[in-house]
Amino acid sequence: MTTATKRLTTSAMIASFADPGQRTASAPFGHALAALAERDDRIVGLTADLGKYTDMHVFAQAHPERFFQMGMAEQLLFGAAAGMAEVGLVPFASTYSVFAARRAYDFLCLDIAEPKLNVNIVGGLPGLTTGYGPSHQATEDVAIFRGMPNLTIVDPCDSVDIEQAVPQLAEAEGPTYLRLLRGKVPTVLDEYDYTFRLGKAAVLRGGTDVVFVSSGLMTMRALQAAEELAKHKVDVAVVHTPTIKPFDAETVLAEVDSDRLVVTLENHTVVGGLFETVASAVVSRGLGKRVVPIALPDEFLDAGALPTLHERYGLATDTVVAKVLAELDR
């Protein structure tokens, strides 16, 4: 499908980044949480009037007695989740990422993170996964949350990551934040020798010319770009970092410390996310290595159709390929 066709046929309401014909799984988070609740009586689900739009409705239908609809009140949502965790339950509380990061930060910080409660924050529409504009695009959520002590941050690539992450988040010490991919989520990582491990990065493929360090949906784009770059005789390694905090510096720096071009790819502003996490690790280790970011700009983004916006802001596969080829020609 051409870019022009995509502009005509994709509405701003659609929040799916799956390619036409790509394998997907429906509501992997909701199904994984419902399955976990079958074997763990501590699991409860809460949402702030966004059950359908964070896939929490799947859990609600399977376990209605353990589901709590808190209404459009995010501070109440997380305050209630903290109380549930205090008495031994394991809550998963869902809303849009913008509301969790911008509207409820103080409650998350003092009610949940400071006492190190196992509350699992589930944020829908992270980064540029909606065309609704700045009111719904959580382009700076990782930057906001990285500075919060005790908080684990997970940015999954696909349905495999989400399904495997949910039970590990439930067992994690302290609070977690999951950048949720919802609806029909691509299935990508089952084609690789990969298992999600909380706190660990994974080398998905080797390469002699370029190293991609990626997270979230941009790992899918990194793998696609690596295939396209091979046609230009450019051999690309891909390191997937689904856990942003705590960051697996050992695995990443082992790949970065070479004479290859290093590129980070993230569905987040260039400020305060994966690029700066990698760059600080490189500087702290004294590697003296240049790192090239592929990320969203430090600005409020436009509203519109996702394929158009991903091309405009550099997240599309073809724009990644063009960026890498330009860097190699420097």
Reported as a single tens digit per residue, the pLDDT across 20-70 is 899 999 999 999 999 999 999 999 999 999 999 999 999 999 999 999 999
pLDDT tens, position by position, 262-291: 999 999 999 999 999 999 999 999 999 999
Burial category of 38 from C-beta neighbours within 10 Å (exposed 0-12, middle 13-18, buried 19 and up): exposed
The superfamily (CATH) of domain 24-186 is Thiamin diphosphate (ThDP)-binding fold, Pyr/PP domains (3.40.50.970)
Per-domain residue ranges of the chain: 24-186, 199-327
pLDDT at position 10, please?
47
Compute the distance between CA of residue 84 and CA of residue 117 in angstroms, rounded to an integer. Answer: 10
What's the fold here for domain 199-327?
Rossmann fold (3.40.50)
The pairing of beta strand 152-154 with beta strand 184-186: unpaired
Which amino acid is it at 205?
A: R
Could you check whether the bond before residue 246 is cis, i.e. omega within 30 degrees of 0?
yes
Calpha distance 317→211 (Å, rounded): 16
Q: Which residues pair with 24 in a beta bridge?
A: 186
Closest CA to 282 of 293, 274, 290: 290
List helix spans (H) across 152-271: 159-171, 217-230, 249-256
Predicted confidence at residue 15, as pLDDT, reads 56
CA–CA separation, 210 vs 206, rounded Å? 9
Q: Which of 95, 179, 169 is nearest to 145 (CA)?
A: 179
**Separation of alpha carbons 44 and 63, rounded Å:** 9
DSSP string, 109-124: IIIIITTT---EEEEE
State the residue for tokens 């590990």. Answer: 168
Reported pTM: 0.95
| CB 303 within 8 Å of CB 210 | no
Give me 158's structure tokens. 């696909």
Tens of pLDDT along the chain (330 residues) come to 444 444 434 455 445 788 889 999 999 999 999 999 999 999 999 999 999 999 999 999 999 999 999 999 999 999 999 999 999 999 999 999 999 999 999 999 999 999 999 999 999 999 999 999 999 999 999 999 999 999 999 999 999 999 999 999 999 999 999 999 999 999 999 999 999 999 999 999 999 999 999 999 999 999 999 999 999 999 999 999 999 999 999 999 999 999 999 999 999 999 999 999 999 999 999 999 999 999 999 999 999 999 999 999 999 999 999 999 999 998
Residues 6+ apart with CB under 8 A from 297: 269, 270, 313
Q: Which residues of 274-307 are buried (b: 16+ CB within 10 A; e: fewer)?
A: bbbbbbebbeeeeeebebbbbbbeeeebeebbbb
Measure the CA–CA gap between 195 and 321, rounded to whole angstroms: 27
Dihedral of alpha carbons 296, 130, 317, 146, sign: positive
Which residue's entry shows tokens 């529409």?
125
Amino acid 6: pLDDT: 43
* Cα 208-214-216 angle, rounded to 5 deg: 150
pLDDT at 17 (0 to 100): 84
Per the CB < 8 A criterion, the answer to whether 202 and 214 are in contact is no
